[in-house]
Homo-oligomer: A and B are copies of this chain.
């Protein structure tokens, strides 16, 4: 057994911790929008597909949130799932059988678990545990989880594909920080990393989830059949990359720093995920849905919102590479560029998916 979840095989991409003005806790508004949009769908999926017989008597119902970050989104999502499970028991006349819940909050060891632990909602109805480690490896014992949830996390690859940072590789991604509008070799390197990672992800979960257990995955991606360039996240990264290159031209950032940096995010389509599920063979697909994030009323605030959103998610990884002092400058520029983009194109809207898988019996 190799339960070494602090292994360096996987890179950590910590969200900005604490609760300062640029923290993930205060700026994960788009993610919160996704949580809200997902709320009823997740509830319906659980009520319709969960088989409560998977829980042996006197056992507790175990929910894992993968890539939980520091809250509060993870708390809303967890509360919603518990309500759904309880409703399922009630709807089957098994009120008295409602189990205790244990929630396992998972993220990289570098996540701010201290912040997470001191911000638990009062009177929460579950036992909580923090589980550090990459979800691309095993993090829980065999057959120990009944319901896995992951929101806005599995689009992070386990690492930047090595070739795209290698000067001597045809996949070297010079002057760019992502695969959008990059050479075919770069796109293929990202795709290959995604395939490998998703294989690890499903393999680990297949061991951890009990037969009949569910996995609810929410992720930003691109519609089936669309080009990578249509993915909202990819768009955002293209703009971010051009900001960095502007700063290179101004002499604020060295070109080498940009060349040795790529964002390990992949925008999958539901079809790509389905192919990975089929290859793995341990799960059935119970639901695939588009998540329509409610539009922001005031579009003039959209650039600010996008900048805050991307900053909340990317600040950790950008700080690591470029240093803390660059961040404000970079995101001021980013907001300006977003303003240009939003006015001319409609592809700036996030596209998010919800997929529900069930662990089949072997």
| A6–B122 CB distance below 8 A | yes
Alpha-carbon distance between A141 and B140 when the two chains are bound, in angstroms: 16
A109-B118, A112-B114, A117-B113 known; A3+B127 contact, CB < 8 A: yes
Alpha-carbon distance between A130 and B116 when the two chains are bound, in angstroms: 11
- Within 8 Å of chain B (Cβ to Cβ): is A4? yes
Give min CB distance, A130 to chain B, whole Å. 4
Alpha-carbon distance between A109 and B102 when the two chains are bound, in angstroms: 17
Alpha-carbon distance between A118 and B6 when the two chains are bound, in angstroms: 7
Query: For window 246-299 of chain A, which residues contact chain B by CB distance below 8 Å?
Result: none
- Within 8 Å of chain B (Cβ to Cβ): is A321? no
Alpha-carbon distance between A144 and B56 when the two chains are bound, in angstroms: 13
| A127–B109 CB distance below 8 A | no
Residue of B nearest to A141 (CB): B60
Query: For window 116-134 of chain A, which residues contact chain B by CB distance below 8 Å?
Result: 117-118, 120, 122-133
Residue of B nearest to A126 (CB): B3
- Within 8 Å of chain B (Cβ to Cβ): is A198? no
- Within 8 Å of chain B (Cβ to Cβ): is A58? yes
Residue of B nearest to A115 (CB): B114
Give the contacting residue for A141; candidates B109, B127, B131; CB below 8 A: B127
> Which 3 pairs from chain A and chain B are nearest by CB?
A60-B141, A129-B129, A117-B132
Question: Could you give 10 example pairs across A and B, Cβ below 8 Å?
Answer: A1-B100, A2-B123, A3-B125, A6-B120, A100-B142, A109-B117, A120-B132, A127-B138, A127-B140, A128-B131
Residue numbers of A with Cβ under 8 A of B are: 1-6, 58, 60, 100-102, 104, 109-110, 112-114, 117-118, 120, 122-133, 138-144
